[in-house]
Amino acid sequence: MARFTSLEELRPSPMMVCTFVLASYFFVTAGVAYDIINEPPAVGAHTDPETGAVKPITFMPYRLNGQFILEGVSGGFFYTLGGVGIILLDLSRDKNKSTLFRNFYMMLGFACAVLSYITCMIFIRIKMPSYMQ
């Protein structure tokens, strides 16, 4: 059995804590608890009334309290991407980094946050077509 001389040896690194928090944030926003309890299918199917062909659908339309597995995973990914963008924007304020890295973090963080916002708004419009119109 290992003996630790101080509590400093037991303390995880800040990057480990950040990774754990981001991973748990992804699982919460992806709706993993909902997926485990309700066991929805990965994707749905829609029959085209004209041709009779069955087409896969990724988003469960007109149901804000229901989701397919792939819908939850993609939504959770983009929520997490937005969070990473905000973290990168915070890292761009570090005065100890060079201007090149600060500008790179700022552009990448802004791009991640904007891409995440736009994609989540597209997801909402797919889910609820008449929302905010």
Which amino acid is located at 130 in the chain? S
Any domain includes 6: no
CA angle 85, 89, 92 (to 5 degrees): 140
pLDDT at 2: 65
Any domain includes 132: no
User: The pTM is what?
Assistant: 0.85
Name the average pLDDT for the chain. Answer: 92
First to last CA, the chain: 64
pLDDT at 11: 84
Any domain includes 133: no
* Long-range contacts from 106-110, C-beta under 8 angstroms, 24+ separation: 109/84, 109/85, 110/85
C-alpha distances in angstroms, 72 versus 37, 44, 63, 108? 14, 13, 13, 24
Any domain includes 105: yes
Boundaries of domain holding 37: 15-127
DSSP string, 103-130: HHHHHHHHHHHHHHHHHHHHHHHHHSTT
| Total domain count, the chain | 1
Q: Mean per-residue pLDDT for 77-90? A: 96
